Structure 1
Amino acid sequence: MFPGPVGDPRNSRAVYPGTFDPFTAGHRDLVDRARRLFEHVTVLVAVNDEKRPTRSGVHRAADIRAGLPREWENVAVAAWNGLTVAYCRQHGAGVIIRGVRNTGDVVRENQLAAMNETLGVTTLLMPTRPELATISSTIVRATVA
């Protein structure tokens, strides 16, 4: 992919944060779509013990990276313990990407987006493709257990 002119979103860095426990087909689709819009996308694996993940953030990040196509060279995966905005500031990312499946997600994500905006980072809400909207990490974990 060739970067666009100055001011073009493809000349920017975006972060896609989440617990990703596990990383689903919906997550993968969103990363694929985002990597076509931005020069660089980081899948930011939240290290949040309050959510009681099944595996450490480092292990989840390694699994995600291993599962992404090698040709997705503009996608990185990192584990992070802290505010997403802090990561964005440290790594020059100007956009946080969030997927939304339904109206409940939109309401919740709009509240987070407003907070992130006051901290200087824009949030881009990307709707989930209809055929993937019923998939969630919680449902995937329940069907595996």
Structure 2
Amino acid sequence: MSDKIGLFAGSFDPVTNGHVDIIKRASRLFDKLYIGVFYNKEKSGLFDPASRQKMLAEALEGIGNIEVITAQDSLAVAIARHHQVTHLVRGLRNAQDLEYEANLAFFNSQLAHEIETVFLLTALNYRYLSSSRVRELIHFKADIRPYVPYSVLKEVEKIFENNQKI
């Protein structure tokens, strides 16, 4: 039997405790799990891709079967094929996420019928958590400790120490 290889892709700008929870749970389902930091150079995020990758890697230390990768201007299925992925992993918080993700899953299945999409429901305590809300809290210098791993707190502290504009 061949290995089950997953890919959980997102912008992770920044990674949240909800992302970490999905990743930990997904890592138990697969022999290998890639975490894909996907970004579009046409969009400006709060954190650059290298910082996102670093924050994720630090937040996920100790999970032996994962690898954080980055991709720019690529379809998830193209990256998945390159890494011999068998399953795309997606997290669902609510019905809106389901509609959006079902649409993506349809097109992904058309482009790569051999790759299955699996959905994991977000834990109830992370249901309303999103990177965009965390970015808003960061902008207003609010406390983000309940929502993000320590690796994100360190990066945010660097931003404020250097008086960078958010």
| Residue aligning to 1:44 | 36
- Correspondence for 1:144 among 131, 138, 146: 138
User: How far apart are 1:133 and its partner, in Å?
Assistant: 0.4
Which residue of the partner structure matches residue 73 of structure 1?
64
Which amino acid in 1 is paired with 2:16? Answer: T
Count of paired positions: 136
What aligned pairs does 1:1-145 form with structure 2 within 5 A after superposition? 6=1, 11-70=3-62, 72-81=63-72, 82-120=74-112, 121-145=115-139
Q: Is the 8 A contact 1:44 1:78 kept in 2?
A: yes
Larger radius of gyration: 2
* TM-fit CA distance, 1:49: 2.8
The offset of 1:50, in angstroms, is: 3.7
CA distance in 2, matches of 1:99, 1:52: 23
Q: Is the 8 A contact 2:20 2:59 kept in 1?
A: no
The residue number in structure 1 matching 2:149 is: none
2-side partners of 1:27 and 1:51: how far apart?
21
Please report the TM-score for the alignment, with normalisation by the length of structure 1.
0.89
Answer whether contact 2:6 2:86 (CA < 8 A) is retained: yes
Letter in 1 for 2:68: V
* Aligned mates of 1:40, 1:23 — CA distance in 2: 20
CA distance in 1, matches of 2:20, 2:43: 21
Distance 1:66 1:28 in 2: 11
Gaps of 5+ in 2: 140-166
Query: What TM-score results when the alignment is normalised by the length of structure 2?
Result: 0.78
